[in-house]
Structure 1
Amino acid sequence: MSIDSLYEGVIATLNTQGRIRSISQQIICSKNIHDKVLLVYDILEGLDAFPKILEVAKCEKVSTYYRNQGNKKFQQSDDYRAWQYYNLSLLHAPLDSECYSLALANRSAVFFSLRKWTECVKDIDNVFSRKYPLKLTDKLNKRKSMCKENLPEELVKSNSESNKILTLQDPQGPRFPCASSKLEVVFSTEMGRHVVAKCDIKVGEVLVQEEPYFMLLLKQQYLFTCHYCLSRSLNLLPCGNCCFALYCSNKCRDSAWKDYHEVECPLMATLIEMQFTKLELLAIRTVIKARNDHPDWDSLFKTIQDAEENLGSEFRGHIKINNEWVYDSKYYASIHTLASNIEKRSVSDIFQKAVTASVFLWLLTQKTKFLESDNEEEQDNISKYAAGTLLHHIMTSPTNMHGISANVETAEGNFVEEFNIASAPYAFHSLLNHSCAPNVVRCSKLGSGKMTLIALRPIKKGMQLFDNYGAHHAIDDRETRQENLKFQYKFTCLCEACINDWPTYFTMKRAGNVPGSIIKRKDTILDSDALDKLQKGDLATAERIFRPLCEIAEELEPYAPCMELADCQESIKQCLQIFGGLVPYGYSQTVDWNAAPPKV
């Protein structure tokens, strides 16, 4: 049963019983956020609506099934899908079984086929350190020997120029350690907390480099990416308990266990089976990590109390470190105080989110000791905390969390399509307001969660920094943008593109009054060869033209909106995607799998 079908079933039953109006009134009248969830929890319990918990354990038969599926794909030269099936086989194999070694051995064959010599050798060495069928010895030794013959052919590319471009050069202040000292955070009644420039900023300047509170890997990349750090390391190793999490190292596996996975582990099958969205999963992980970041429940309650006392001050989301106020994503206070927009939400929206929070609360109660306490008073506080904070973060996620993505190769060999990898909470990036014609752009390094903010347009002293929440004037018309923003983010956009009804790219005209010298330079830099190479993900071209493009974008700013400026800005963003790292075509060819294993 999915969470959506559970919700629809509950609504249908309550409609039949004629209880919708009275329940809505109770939700409106509930003073505390946790009361709304506990009310809905009691309703679901009374309707016997909570889902059946899915149990999935390591199993040699399931591991063998997936390994055989991998063998079929490997025989068809479908290496990337074979690789995924072998990882599924590894996930389901008991750690001390021959099935585990066989999955590693077969995965090494994929790496050999893909010319991943180092990774192939690493998997073979892992097999030899474990219990494995002796008949594999000669085959694996021969494969390992062939790898070593090819190892000198592996070249390590230097990205020194692009790394320099993506590095924050300005000194950072102690209060906002991830941000350039050229920025300051201010508050106004109309705009809330927002970020402004303390001095003039040029196109291409790095303004923020922020690590998230944690990262949530999307299901489509479970079989390719480390669940904790997002490393693209190929020799991933499974969680020793569940059949869903892979890690690049024992360090990441231990860190994930400490931060949240010990609690999530027995819930993983049900969370996947019920098809919770990334926004919902971000909420439950936030609640778990917040507790695990503190030595006990009382210290967490104190953090929340202090944070909520500061809500109306300039130190909202800050904590004191060595008697200095600090706003940093690594501290829960900065995440707890992100806006939920609860006052702008409809009763039906709150009820639906409270259903999700109630199911999470029920799962935590049924399958974990996370909410248990020997102290009756503390137990009551824990239940209220979990109920209210789950709903709170289910509401903060849609308007504050950020996606982590890269460009992925198409079948034609172009890197022009966005590929979503993970989502994460970034406290500082969440302070930026939206514009349909933004003056900054975000990018991240493939295999990392660090988010970098770069100036896309010149920003004068005193001007606000504007991010883009997904509604861009070059893509969607004003009416479409306004509807989408109102639905998800609960505001009416008043940016320059909306007020002046800027055209979309395909209805945009070339600027008639731009000096010919600027147009000539732009056309010289962005000639057909450069555009083609950018589409092909050519790093050398991106490094060569990035800074000249930034200079031309500066000169074209007075003529916005125009096609010439839009071309420069899109090419700048394409360069940044290349600098961040590109995803080869095979990684987007994912296999279908479900939390419930096949019956074998």
Structure 2
Amino acid sequence: MAQSLCRMEAFLLDLNRKILARTNNQELLIEFSQMQNDEERVIFALQRMIKYKMNLNYESLHKNSEKSIQLKAQGNKLFIGGWDYKAVVKYTESIAYATKSSEELALTYANRSAALFRIEKYQDCINDIDRALSLVYPDKLKIKLYERKGLCLTALGKPDAEASFKKALEWLDKMSLDEDKTKKLKIQLNKFISAPCVNVEIQAESAKYELPEFETPNSEVPCASDAVVIKYTPELGRHVVATRKIRPGEILAAEKPFAMFLMPENVYTHCSKCLQVSMAMTPCNYCVNAMYCSQACKEQAWEEYHEIECAIIGPLLMSGFNMLGLFSMRLAILATQKGKYLDKLKKQLEEIDNHKDPRTKGFSADGKLHSDQYGSIYSLVTNTQKRSAQDLLDRAFKAAYITYILSRESNIFGEKLMLDCDVLAKNAAATFVGGLILKHQQIIPSNVRVFSELRGVEDYENGAAAMPFYSLFNHSCDSSVTRSVQKDHIILYAMYPIEKGEQIYDNYGVHYALSERSKRQKKLLEQFYFKCNCEPCTNDWPVYNKIRSYQAQLLTQHVKNRLKQILRNHTRYIDLAYERKTDQDPNMLNNLLRMIEEVYELVKRPCVELNNVVETVKHYYALQGKRFDVPLKPYEK
């Protein structure tokens, strides 16, 4: 990856060198600054790319049997060493590179099934066995697969186990094995048939999360409760305010992202469509950059966007593009419905651009902010006027480069356009899409939130989600809400008591307890273009290890005694949360939320005990959401 990162950097460096050789860079920036919109900026970039004779050649990674075999061998080595989970990931990478319907693909599915069996992922193991048997799989090895499938079905308590063992016997009779080995195998299989039992525990199905239903839905935001409302002022922009008193733990919204994007480094552990952890993924039939947890996700991704992306992601990754560039393209593909919606979309976006009320900008014709409508994304803040000309120019060149590859490797513009950049700059469809890509490169840094999961005791970022409503919350270094990822929805919980009329704050990734004010302010100014005036910044609250206990605050002894009584069970709840035994106390969550409410009223913030209770509640919610329980220990034979 380091090599590919250098390629894009080299492209921009070479471009700047050529610009300086022919003109003053400041003159170019002044000329660029006169561009009125993102489409004009992309046209400018396309024209300059051909003017300065830039090298626009690109490479990609393709299905490769030799590489697939090498990766499978690495997986075999890990499996022999007992590192089953690591073997699964390596086998998955091998599957990505294997050619469609090949024997090599079948063999790798079978090998992965063996590793999945050892980590007791029985249904995943069965899925891989079925995939292997549906392809060209050697007859002499089928007995192993049918036996393994029978053991999985037995472990799951399924009645089909006997049929699988009988199928293994059929293949045994067709094989030319020595008499002793055949006899031993028959005895073993017949034993399974007569009394199928293995020394494993039956896997419990994970509980299905039910999305909250609000008694009184929000009249303007379908995904939200009526406890919140969108407001606007010139100073604060769009922001969210409480319509009534809100208690800790109250669910304020359950938003399904308009779009999600998996971080490229997670492609062999998570589904490229739903971002769920999967240990038995299937690959895209054509590229090596997308894996799916199910056929349904695979077909849905192809229908929505991957048909266009398939041949583009590889060249962009090889050219050094990160998630920002890739996600900006994804949003353009979705917005235009793979290029089929250009004229209608242009008209819709013109209406949004001309909309007079900044509060309702991007709302649909029914007067609501719908999370599944592109207009809700398009209307989000870009900070274009606050960006430097150089920043915008670099983004414009990247958007132009993406547009160039899109035109050559996809049919988003009706057909593949093998055009030079100066001709492409005159193609209305191409420049419109390029302008959208550039706009998204400005929207994403200021609005898109990470899509995370619990891994061990830490939150792990595995992708990004574009969520129109959550993007409207302003930042505080001590946010009043927390988010929990529940499959394809993100639930927003109140963490503190919030009074009617009070602004509700999210956090943009910098918490006062984790970093000093100067570092927080620097990051917020660089990425979001504002100076933070939240309470922790205004009063320069200390980082975690310097936060005082309530015992050190100027409180009466009566209040301190009361706080001690309120917090008496907190240590036990911490242990239950971090040992993942929260089900041992069904009242745990309600008791913790009551602690927050009562302590909040009695202490002066910041207070270390209040912080600790809040973090315990956050961990509780994380345990109910997406988790990645990685079996890193080697298999004990």
Give the TM-score of the pair, scaled to structure 2: 0.85
Is contact 1:168–1:209 with CA below 8 Å preserved after alignment?
no
Give the corresponding residue for 1:188.
233
Q: How large is the Cα RMSD of the aligned pairs?
A: 2.5
Q: Give runs of aligned pairs for residues 301-340 of structure 1, distance below 5 A.
A: 301-310=346-355, 312-320=357-365, 324-340=366-382
Is contact 2:481–2:494 with CA below 8 Å preserved after alignment?
yes
Deviation at 1:542, TM superposition (A): 7.8
1:282 to 315, 322, 327: 327
Is contact 1:525–1:545 with CA below 8 Å preserved after alignment?
no
Give the corresponding residue for 1:595.
none
Describe the shift of the 1:239–1:311 C-alpha distance in structure 2 as closer, same or farther (beyond 3 A): farther
Q: Deviations for 1:328-367, whole angstroms, at most 9, x for unmatched residues?
A: 1211000011110000011121112112111111111221
- Partner SS, residue 325 of structure 1: coil
Is contact 2:424–2:430 with CA below 8 Å preserved after alignment?
no
Is the counterpart of residue 47 in structure 1 residue 52 in structure 2? yes
Which one is further off, 229-238 or 490-499?
Answer: 229-238
Q: Give runs of aligned pairs for residues 374-389 of structure 1, distance below 5 A.
A: 380-389=427-436
Unaligned stretches of 5+ in structure 1?
Answer: 410-414, 590-600
Is the counterpart of residue 355 in structure 1 residue 355 in structure 2? no
- Partner SS, residue 453 of structure 2: strand
CA distance in 1, matches of 2:156, 2:222: 41
Deviation at 1:43, TM superposition (A): 2.0
2:95 aligned partner, one-letter code: L
Describe the shift of the 1:378–1:31 C-alpha distance in structure 2 as closer, same or farther (beyond 3 A): closer
CA distance in 1, matches of 2:338, 2:353: 18
2:412 to 356, 361, 370: 370
Describe the shift of the 1:97–1:43 C-alpha distance in structure 2 as closer, same or farther (beyond 3 A): same
Describe the shift of the 1:44–1:544 C-alpha distance in structure 2 as closer, same or farther (beyond 3 A): farther
Give the corresponding residue for 1:206.
251
Is contact 1:222–1:245 with CA below 8 Å preserved after alignment?
yes
CA distance in 2, matches of 1:66, 1:568: 46
Is contact 2:476–2:506 with CA below 8 Å preserved after alignment?
yes
Give the corresponding residue for 2:342.
297
Q: Give runs of aligned pairs for residues 36-435 of structure 1, distance below 5 A.
A: 36-152=41-157, 153-156=201-204, 159=207, 163=209, 167-292=212-337, 295-310=340-355, 312-320=357-365, 324-372=366-414, 380-409=427-456, 415=457, 417-435=458-476
Give the corresponding residue for 2:162.
none
Give the corresponding residue for 2:581.
538
2:26 aligned partner, one-letter code: R
Which one is further off, 254-263 or 15-24?
Answer: 15-24
CA distance in 2, matches of 1:254, 1:134: 30
Deviation at 1:458, TM superposition (A): 0.7
Give the corresponding residue for 2:624.
579
Describe the shift of the 1:311–1:291 C-alpha distance in structure 2 as closer, same or farther (beyond 3 A): farther
Is contact 2:19–2:52 with CA below 8 Å preserved after alignment?
no
CA distance in 1, matches of 2:384, 2:561: 52
Deviation at 1:507, TM superposition (A): 1.2
Give the corresponding residue for 1:477.
516
Give the corresponding residue for 2:176.
none
Give the corresponding residue for 2:564.
520
Which one is further off, 34-43 or 531-540?
Answer: 531-540
Which one is further off, 122-131 or 359-368?
Answer: 122-131
2:411 aligned partner, one-letter code: K
CA distance in 2, matches of 1:243, 1:388: 28
Q: Give runs of aligned pairs for residues 500-515 of structure 1, distance below 5 A.
A: 500-511=539-550, 512=553, 513=555, 515=559
Structure with higher Rg: it is 2
- Partner SS, residue 497 of structure 1: helix
Describe the shift of the 1:587–1:187 C-alpha distance in structure 2 as closer, same or farther (beyond 3 A): farther
Is contact 2:47–2:425 with CA below 8 Å preserved after alignment?
no
Q: Sequence identity, in percent?
A: 28
Q: Deviations for 1:241-279, whole angstroms, at most 9, x for unmatched residues?
A: 111211122222121112111111001211222232222
Deviation at 1:190, TM superposition (A): 0.7
Deviation at 1:517, TM superposition (A): 4.5
Give the corresponding residue for 2:507.
468
- Partner SS, residue 484 of structure 2: strand
Give the TM-score of the pair, scaled to structure 1: 0.90
Describe the shift of the 1:55–1:470 C-alpha distance in structure 2 as closer, same or farther (beyond 3 A): closer
- Partner SS, residue 553 of structure 1: helix
1:97 aligned partner, one-letter code: S
CA distance in 2, matches of 1:348, 1:399: 18
1:438 to 458, 465, 479: 479
Is contact 2:339–2:413 with CA below 8 Å preserved after alignment?
no
CA distance in 2, matches of 1:89, 1:426: 34
Which one is further off, 282-291 or 364-373?
Answer: 364-373
CA distance in 2, matches of 1:8, 1:518: 64
Q: Deviations for 1:307-335, whole angstroms, at most 9, x for unmatched residues?
A: 22226343211112xxx222112110000
Which one is further off, 562-571 or 426-435?
Answer: 562-571
Give the corresponding residue for 1:596.
none
Is the counterpart of residue 24 in structure 1 residue 26 in structure 2? no
Give the corresponding residue for 1:34.
39
Describe the shift of the 1:158–1:307 C-alpha distance in structure 2 as closer, same or farther (beyond 3 A): same
Is contact 2:260–2:464 with CA below 8 Å preserved after alignment?
yes
Deviation at 1:518, TM superposition (A): 4.0
Is contact 1:537–1:582 with CA below 8 Å preserved after alignment?
no
CA distance in 1, matches of 2:292, 2:230: 37
Q: Deviations for 1:183-203, whole angstroms, at most 9, x for unmatched residues?
A: 111111111111111110000
Give the corresponding residue for 2:14.
9
Deviation at 1:140, TM superposition (A): 1.2
Is contact 1:183–1:198 with CA below 8 Å preserved after alignment?
yes
Count of equivalent residues: 574
Deviation at 1:392, TM superposition (A): 0.8
1:506 aligned partner, one-letter code: N
Deviation at 1:154, TM superposition (A): 2.3
- Partner SS, residue 524 of structure 1: coil
Is contact 1:458–1:554 with CA below 8 Å preserved after alignment?
yes
Is contact 1:59–1:93 with CA below 8 Å preserved after alignment?
yes
Deviation at 1:449, TM superposition (A): 2.9
Give the corresponding residue for 2:600.
557
CA distance in 1, matches of 2:326, 2:584: 39
Is contact 2:305–2:338 with CA below 8 Å preserved after alignment?
no
Describe the shift of the 1:196–1:223 C-alpha distance in structure 2 as closer, same or farther (beyond 3 A): same
2:588 aligned partner, one-letter code: I
Is contact 1:353–1:391 with CA below 8 Å preserved after alignment?
yes
Is contact 1:317–1:335 with CA below 8 Å preserved after alignment?
yes
CA distance in 1, matches of 2:485, 2:463: 11
Describe the shift of the 1:185–1:232 C-alpha distance in structure 2 as closer, same or farther (beyond 3 A): same
